[in-house]
Amino acid sequence: MTGQVAHASIVYWRRSIWNGRRCVPVAMILDEGWLRARDADGKELFAVPVGQVGGRLSRLGTLLLTVDGRRYALVGRGSDSSPEPGADQRRAVTAFWAVRPAPGPAGGPGLLDQIFNGSAAWHTRTWRDVLAAAGAGIRR
């Protein structure tokens, strides 16, 4: 595991496959070997050493993380009826990148992903790659 890998963004926790309002924003931050996630109310969903995180990226672009025995289905963007990220979530991600140069992940979102999916698949692939590089048990 390396503490040099760092990343932060808003992802969406798909708590229900059918109800878009239950697809909620989460501020996820990987820094100094720890992965932390907070919901829009400021509640910490988890804060664990990245080596304790497992998971995989589904064929449909959902990042399926397992943290402390709980599975989180994370997607790159919410549905039309999903709540917006909270101001504290946005501030946390902005503050994170204010003191770091934003990385230029290899490649970028494909044209169809940009047009039809708001780059959501690229977003979750980036998280998969960053977590794997940091030492999480992410299957590629």
- pLDDT tens profile 18-50: 787 889 999 999 999 999 999 999 999 999 999
CATH code where residue 99 lies: 2.30.29.30
Structural domain boundaries enclosing 15 = 7-139
CA distance 140 to 68: 21
Counted domains in the chain: 1
Contacts with 118 (C-beta within 8 Å, 6 or more apart), sequence order: 76, 77
- Residue 103's pLDDT is 60
Is residue 1 included in any domain, yes or no? no
CA distance 81 to 30: 27
Is residue 134 included in any domain, yes or no? yes
DSSP SS3 for 134:
helix
Is residue 69 included in any domain, yes or no? yes
Is residue 111 included in any domain, yes or no? yes
Block residue for tokens 């808003």: 10
Confidence band, pLDDT 50/70/90 cuts, at residue 111 = low
Is residue 55 included in any domain, yes or no? yes
Q: What is the pTM of this model?
A: 0.86
Is residue 58 included in any domain, yes or no? yes
Q: 47-92 pLDDT, tens per residue?
A: 999 999 999 999 888 999 999 999 999 998 888 889 999 999 999 9
Is residue 2 included in any domain, yes or no? no
Is residue 16 included in any domain, yes or no? yes
Is the pLDDT score of 116 beyond 50? Answer: no
